[in-house]
Structure 1
Amino acid sequence: MSRSTATSSAGPTGDAILLSENFSINSIDSQKYDRVSRITGSNPDVKFHLDIAHDLYPMQPGETIELVLASTLKLDGSSDIGEAKQGWRDIDEMPTLADAYEYVCYGKIYRFEEAGVDSIKAYISFGGLLLYLEGSAKKLTTLKHEYVYLLVKKV
Protein backbone atom coordinates (compact mmCIF):
# COMPACT_ATOMS: atom_id res chain seq x y z
CA MET A 1 0.00 0.00 0.00
CA SER A 2 1.20 3.50 -0.59
CA ARG A 3 1.89 6.21 1.88
CA SER A 4 -0.81 8.70 2.67
CA THR A 5 -1.03 11.91 0.69
CA ALA A 6 -0.56 13.74 3.98
CA THR A 7 2.93 12.28 4.17
CA SER A 8 4.00 13.12 0.64
CA SER A 9 5.60 16.46 -0.20
CA ALA A 10 4.25 18.21 2.91
CA GLY A 11 4.77 15.24 5.25
CA PRO A 12 7.58 14.09 7.49
CA THR A 13 10.94 13.48 5.91
CA GLY A 14 13.34 10.62 6.49
CA ASP A 15 12.21 7.63 8.45
CA ALA A 16 9.41 9.29 10.43
CA ILE A 17 6.69 7.09 8.86
CA LEU A 18 7.35 3.55 10.08
CA LEU A 19 4.21 1.96 8.65
CA SER A 20 1.40 3.28 6.48
CA GLU A 21 -1.26 0.79 5.37
CA ASN A 22 -4.91 0.74 4.38
CA PHE A 23 -6.99 -1.94 6.09
CA SER A 24 -10.49 -3.27 5.74
CA ILE A 25 -12.31 -3.58 9.08
CA ASN A 26 -13.39 -7.22 9.43
CA SER A 27 -15.03 -7.24 12.87
CA ILE A 28 -15.65 -5.20 16.00
CA ASP A 29 -16.00 -6.69 19.48
CA SER A 30 -17.54 -4.27 22.00
CA GLN A 31 -18.68 -6.79 24.61
CA LYS A 32 -15.72 -6.86 27.02
CA TYR A 33 -15.50 -3.16 27.97
CA ASP A 34 -17.99 -0.29 28.13
CA ARG A 35 -16.01 2.27 26.12
CA VAL A 36 -13.44 0.18 24.26
CA SER A 37 -13.89 -2.01 21.21
CA ARG A 38 -11.42 -4.44 19.68
CA ILE A 39 -11.22 -3.77 15.95
CA THR A 40 -9.93 -6.54 13.69
CA GLY A 41 -8.77 -5.74 10.19
CA SER A 42 -6.53 -6.91 7.41
CA ASN A 43 -5.00 -6.31 4.03
CA PRO A 44 -3.07 -8.81 1.87
CA ASP A 45 0.20 -8.27 3.82
CA VAL A 46 -0.76 -7.46 7.43
CA LYS A 47 -3.55 -8.18 9.89
CA PHE A 48 -4.23 -6.29 13.10
CA HIS A 49 -6.26 -6.10 16.30
CA LEU A 50 -6.67 -2.62 17.79
CA ASP A 51 -8.34 -1.55 21.01
CA ILE A 52 -10.03 1.77 20.35
CA ALA A 53 -12.17 4.17 22.36
CA HIS A 54 -15.33 3.67 20.30
CA ASP A 55 -17.15 6.62 21.86
CA LEU A 56 -14.39 8.89 20.50
CA TYR A 57 -13.98 7.18 17.15
CA PRO A 58 -16.76 4.81 16.08
CA MET A 59 -16.10 2.35 13.26
CA GLN A 60 -18.15 -0.24 11.40
CA PRO A 61 -17.23 -3.57 9.77
CA GLY A 62 -16.58 -3.09 6.06
CA GLU A 63 -15.07 0.39 6.45
CA THR A 64 -11.54 1.03 5.22
CA ILE A 65 -9.05 2.89 7.37
CA GLU A 66 -5.54 4.17 6.92
CA LEU A 67 -3.36 3.18 9.86
CA VAL A 68 -0.01 4.93 10.27
CA LEU A 69 2.75 4.43 12.82
CA ALA A 70 5.14 7.37 12.98
CA SER A 71 8.15 8.23 15.13
CA THR A 72 7.28 11.95 15.15
CA LEU A 73 4.39 14.27 14.41
CA LYS A 74 6.66 17.08 13.24
CA LEU A 75 6.39 17.64 9.51
CA ASP A 76 10.14 18.24 9.18
CA GLY A 77 10.79 14.75 10.59
CA SER A 78 12.67 16.00 13.65
CA SER A 79 12.19 14.20 16.94
CA ASP A 80 9.47 15.27 19.35
CA ILE A 81 9.73 12.40 21.83
CA GLY A 82 10.80 14.57 24.79
CA GLU A 83 7.92 16.94 24.12
CA ALA A 84 5.46 14.12 23.44
CA LYS A 85 5.93 12.63 26.90
CA GLN A 86 4.53 15.89 28.27
CA GLY A 87 1.49 15.68 25.96
CA TRP A 88 1.62 15.42 22.19
CA ARG A 89 -1.18 17.96 21.70
CA ASP A 90 1.08 20.66 23.12
CA ILE A 91 4.12 20.05 20.91
CA ASP A 92 3.86 23.48 19.31
CA GLU A 93 1.37 25.54 17.40
CA MET A 94 2.78 24.59 14.00
CA PRO A 95 0.89 22.13 11.78
CA THR A 96 1.67 18.48 12.53
CA LEU A 97 1.02 15.10 10.97
CA ALA A 98 -1.87 14.68 13.45
CA ASP A 99 -3.80 17.40 11.63
CA ALA A 100 -4.41 14.99 8.72
CA TYR A 101 -5.84 12.19 10.91
CA GLU A 102 -8.98 11.66 12.99
CA TYR A 103 -7.68 9.45 15.84
CA VAL A 104 -4.18 9.81 17.34
CA CYS A 105 -2.49 7.95 20.21
CA TYR A 106 1.03 7.84 21.59
CA GLY A 107 2.53 4.60 22.87
CA LYS A 108 5.38 2.13 22.96
CA ILE A 109 6.26 -0.93 20.93
CA TYR A 110 7.02 -3.43 23.65
CA ARG A 111 7.34 -6.89 22.08
CA PHE A 112 8.15 -8.72 18.86
CA GLU A 113 7.79 -12.38 17.94
CA GLU A 114 8.61 -14.40 14.88
CA ALA A 115 5.43 -15.78 13.35
CA GLY A 116 6.83 -17.99 10.63
CA VAL A 117 9.46 -17.91 7.94
CA ASP A 118 8.83 -14.35 6.74
CA SER A 119 6.30 -13.12 9.30
CA ILE A 120 6.57 -10.94 12.42
CA LYS A 121 4.20 -10.11 15.28
CA ALA A 122 4.47 -6.68 16.94
CA TYR A 123 2.73 -5.55 20.13
CA ILE A 124 2.20 -1.88 20.95
CA SER A 125 0.56 -0.31 24.00
CA PHE A 126 -1.15 3.08 23.95
CA GLY A 127 -1.78 3.57 27.65
CA GLY A 128 -3.47 0.18 27.93
CA LEU A 129 -5.17 0.21 24.54
CA LEU A 130 -3.30 -2.42 22.56
CA LEU A 131 -2.36 -2.84 18.93
CA TYR A 132 -1.29 -6.24 17.60
CA LEU A 133 0.17 -6.44 14.10
CA GLU A 134 1.08 -9.63 12.27
CA GLY A 135 2.43 -9.72 8.81
CA SER A 136 5.18 -9.77 6.30
CA ALA A 137 8.63 -9.15 7.73
CA LYS A 138 9.22 -6.90 4.71
CA LYS A 139 6.36 -4.60 5.84
CA LEU A 140 7.12 -4.64 9.58
CA THR A 141 10.94 -4.50 9.68
CA THR A 142 10.92 -0.71 10.14
CA LEU A 143 9.42 -1.21 13.60
CA LYS A 144 11.68 -1.48 16.64
CA HIS A 145 11.29 -1.06 20.39
CA GLU A 146 10.49 2.64 20.55
CA TYR A 147 7.78 5.19 21.21
CA VAL A 148 5.41 5.72 18.30
CA TYR A 149 2.31 7.59 17.27
CA LEU A 150 -0.74 5.77 15.97
CA LEU A 151 -2.69 7.81 13.43
CA VAL A 152 -5.99 6.58 11.97
CA LYS A 153 -8.47 7.97 9.48
CA LYS A 154 -11.24 6.55 7.37
CA VAL A 155 -10.60 6.41 3.63
Structure 2
Amino acid sequence: MADVQLLDAVFTITEIDNKRYDRVSRIAGTSSDSTLTMTLDINHELFHCQVGESISMALATTLELDGAAKEGAETSWRNVSRTGYSTLADMYDYVCYGRHYKFEDGDGGNAKCYASFGGLLLYLEGPYNKLSSLKIDNFYMLIKRA
Protein backbone atom coordinates (compact mmCIF):
# COMPACT_ATOMS: atom_id res chain seq x y z
CA MET A 1 0.00 0.00 0.00
CA ALA A 2 1.28 3.47 -0.88
CA ASP A 3 1.83 6.08 1.79
CA VAL A 4 -1.56 7.56 2.74
CA GLN A 5 -0.28 10.92 3.96
CA LEU A 6 1.42 12.75 1.11
CA LEU A 7 2.21 15.99 2.93
CA ASP A 8 1.74 17.39 6.43
CA ALA A 9 2.85 20.97 7.03
CA VAL A 10 2.01 24.03 9.10
CA PHE A 11 1.80 27.28 7.14
CA THR A 12 1.76 30.84 8.42
CA ILE A 13 -0.51 32.99 6.28
CA THR A 14 1.44 35.93 4.86
CA GLU A 15 -1.10 37.42 2.47
CA ILE A 16 -4.85 37.32 1.73
CA ASP A 17 -6.50 38.62 -1.43
CA ASN A 18 -10.30 38.59 -1.24
CA LYS A 19 -11.06 41.34 -3.73
CA ARG A 20 -11.77 39.20 -6.81
CA TYR A 21 -14.60 36.92 -5.69
CA ASP A 22 -17.46 37.13 -3.22
CA ARG A 23 -16.79 33.88 -1.36
CA VAL A 24 -13.23 32.97 -2.28
CA SER A 25 -9.95 34.35 -0.95
CA ARG A 26 -6.51 33.60 -2.31
CA ILE A 27 -4.17 33.03 0.61
CA ALA A 28 -0.39 32.75 0.52
CA GLY A 29 1.80 31.25 3.20
CA THR A 30 5.16 29.86 4.19
CA SER A 31 5.71 26.60 6.04
CA SER A 32 7.00 26.66 9.60
CA ASP A 33 10.37 25.28 8.44
CA SER A 34 10.48 27.92 5.62
CA THR A 35 11.04 25.30 2.92
CA LEU A 36 7.56 25.38 1.31
CA THR A 37 5.48 28.20 -0.06
CA MET A 38 1.79 27.85 -0.73
CA THR A 39 -0.90 29.76 -2.58
CA LEU A 40 -4.45 28.52 -2.09
CA ASP A 41 -7.93 29.57 -3.14
CA ILE A 42 -10.22 28.96 -0.17
CA ASN A 43 -13.92 29.52 0.50
CA HIS A 44 -13.67 32.13 3.25
CA GLU A 45 -17.32 31.66 4.25
CA LEU A 46 -16.50 28.09 5.27
CA PHE A 47 -13.01 28.70 6.65
CA HIS A 48 -12.14 32.28 7.54
CA CYS A 49 -8.48 33.07 8.21
CA GLN A 50 -6.28 36.09 8.84
CA VAL A 51 -2.75 37.21 8.03
CA GLY A 52 -0.35 35.90 10.67
CA GLU A 53 -2.54 32.91 11.54
CA SER A 54 -1.10 29.39 11.29
CA ILE A 55 -2.95 26.58 9.58
CA SER A 56 -2.14 22.90 9.37
CA MET A 57 -2.49 21.34 5.92
CA ALA A 58 -2.47 17.64 5.17
CA LEU A 59 -2.70 16.00 1.77
CA ALA A 60 -3.84 12.38 1.81
CA THR A 61 -4.92 9.67 -0.61
CA THR A 62 -7.83 8.49 1.57
CA LEU A 63 -9.90 9.66 4.51
CA GLU A 64 -9.98 6.22 6.11
CA LEU A 65 -8.20 6.13 9.46
CA ASP A 66 -6.74 2.69 8.73
CA GLY A 67 -5.37 3.91 5.38
CA ALA A 68 -7.50 1.53 3.33
CA ALA A 69 -8.69 2.83 -0.01
CA LYS A 70 -12.39 2.03 0.05
CA GLU A 71 -14.69 2.63 -2.87
CA GLY A 72 -18.41 3.17 -3.13
CA ALA A 73 -21.09 5.61 -2.03
CA GLU A 74 -21.49 4.01 1.40
CA THR A 75 -17.96 5.12 2.35
CA SER A 76 -18.07 8.56 0.75
CA TRP A 77 -17.09 11.42 3.07
CA ARG A 78 -20.52 12.94 2.44
CA ASN A 79 -22.21 9.94 4.05
CA VAL A 80 -20.10 9.80 7.22
CA SER A 81 -22.80 11.31 9.43
CA ARG A 82 -25.24 8.62 8.31
CA THR A 83 -22.88 5.68 8.74
CA GLY A 84 -21.58 6.70 12.17
CA TYR A 85 -17.90 5.89 11.74
CA SER A 86 -14.98 8.31 11.98
CA THR A 87 -12.68 9.42 9.20
CA LEU A 88 -9.66 11.67 8.90
CA ALA A 89 -12.05 14.50 7.92
CA ASP A 90 -13.42 14.56 11.48
CA MET A 91 -10.08 15.96 12.67
CA TYR A 92 -10.06 18.92 10.26
CA ASP A 93 -12.20 22.00 9.63
CA TYR A 94 -11.96 22.28 5.83
CA VAL A 95 -11.78 19.27 3.49
CA CYS A 96 -11.61 19.17 -0.31
CA TYR A 97 -11.08 16.44 -2.88
CA GLY A 98 -9.04 17.45 -5.89
CA ARG A 99 -6.83 16.62 -8.80
CA HIS A 100 -3.15 17.22 -9.35
CA TYR A 101 -2.83 18.66 -12.85
CA LYS A 102 0.76 19.85 -13.20
CA PHE A 103 4.14 19.09 -11.66
CA GLU A 104 7.30 20.96 -12.63
CA ASP A 105 10.90 20.41 -11.68
CA GLY A 106 12.31 23.73 -10.60
CA ASP A 107 15.77 25.16 -10.10
CA GLY A 108 18.18 23.89 -7.46
CA GLY A 109 16.26 20.75 -6.51
CA ASN A 110 12.93 22.54 -6.08
CA ALA A 111 9.59 21.51 -7.53
CA LYS A 112 6.23 23.13 -8.21
CA CYS A 113 2.93 21.34 -7.77
CA TYR A 114 -0.44 22.55 -9.04
CA ALA A 115 -3.80 21.08 -7.98
CA SER A 116 -7.45 22.00 -8.43
CA PHE A 117 -10.24 21.36 -5.95
CA GLY A 118 -13.36 22.01 -7.99
CA GLY A 119 -11.80 25.15 -9.45
CA LEU A 120 -10.16 26.30 -6.22
CA LEU A 121 -6.45 26.15 -6.95
CA LEU A 122 -3.47 25.08 -4.85
CA TYR A 123 0.13 25.91 -5.73
CA LEU A 124 3.01 24.49 -3.69
CA GLU A 125 6.70 25.17 -4.22
CA GLY A 126 9.57 23.64 -2.33
CA PRO A 127 12.16 20.86 -2.23
CA TYR A 128 11.56 18.06 -4.72
CA ASN A 129 11.85 15.38 -2.01
CA LYS A 130 8.93 16.93 -0.07
CA LEU A 131 6.64 17.33 -3.09
CA SER A 132 7.48 14.30 -5.23
CA SER A 133 4.76 12.20 -3.54
CA LEU A 134 2.16 14.56 -5.05
CA LYS A 135 2.69 13.12 -8.53
CA ILE A 136 -0.59 11.20 -8.25
CA ASP A 137 -3.93 12.00 -9.87
CA ASN A 138 -6.26 12.64 -6.93
CA PHE A 139 -5.96 13.45 -3.23
CA TYR A 140 -7.71 15.09 -0.31
CA MET A 141 -6.66 18.43 1.15
CA LEU A 142 -7.44 18.81 4.86
CA ILE A 143 -6.98 22.09 6.75
CA LYS A 144 -7.36 23.09 10.39
CA ARG A 145 -6.09 25.84 12.62
CA ALA A 146 -2.66 25.02 14.02
- What is the TM-score of this pair, normalised by structure 1? 0.85
Q: What residue identity is the alignment partner of 1:36?
A: V
The answer to whether residue 87 in structure 2 is matched with residue 96 in structure 1 is yes
Q: 1:54 is matched with which residue: 7, 30, 44?
A: 44
TM-score (norm 2): 0.90
Provide structure 1 residue ranges, at least 5 long, that are not aligned to the other structure.
1-12
Letter in 2 for 1:70: A
Counterparts in 2 of 1:134 and 1:83: CA distance versus 1, 3 Å: farther
| SS of equivalent residue, structure 1 residue 141 | helix
Task: Determine helix, strand or coil for the equivalent of 1:50.
Answer: strand
- SS of equivalent residue, structure 1 residue 117: helix
Does structure 2 conserve the Cα–Cα contact (< 8 Å) formed by 1:31 and 1:37? Answer: yes
Aligned amino acid, residue 69 of structure 1: L
Unaligned runs of 5+ in 2: none
Give me the whole-angstrom Cα distance separating, in 2, the residues matched to 1:78 and 1:100.
17
Aligned residues: 141
| Residue identity (%) | 48
Question: Would you say the 8 A contact 1:107–1:147 is kept in 2?
Answer: yes
Code of the residue aligned with 2:41 in structure 1: it is D
Render the CA deviation track for 1:70-99: whole Å, top value 9, x for unaligned.
00000110113x437x95322553100000
C-alpha contact 1:111 1:145 (8 A) present in aligned 2: no
Look up the equivalent residue of 1:28 and give its one-letter code. I
User: Which has the larger displacement, 91-100 or 30-39?
Assistant: 91-100
Correspondence 1:124 to 2:112: no
User: What aligned pairs does 1:14-93 form with structure 2 within 5 A after superposition?
Assistant: 15-43=3-31, 44-80=34-70, 82-83=71-72, 87-90=76-79, 92-93=83-84
* Separation (CA, whole Å) in 1 of partners of 2:52 and 2:72: 36
What RMSD, in angstroms, separates the aligned Cα atoms of the two structures? 1.8
Report if aligned partners of 1:113, 1:120 keep a CA contact under 8 Å in 2: yes
Quote the offset at 1:114 in angstroms: 1.4
Runs (4 or more) in structure 1 with deviation over 6 Å come to none
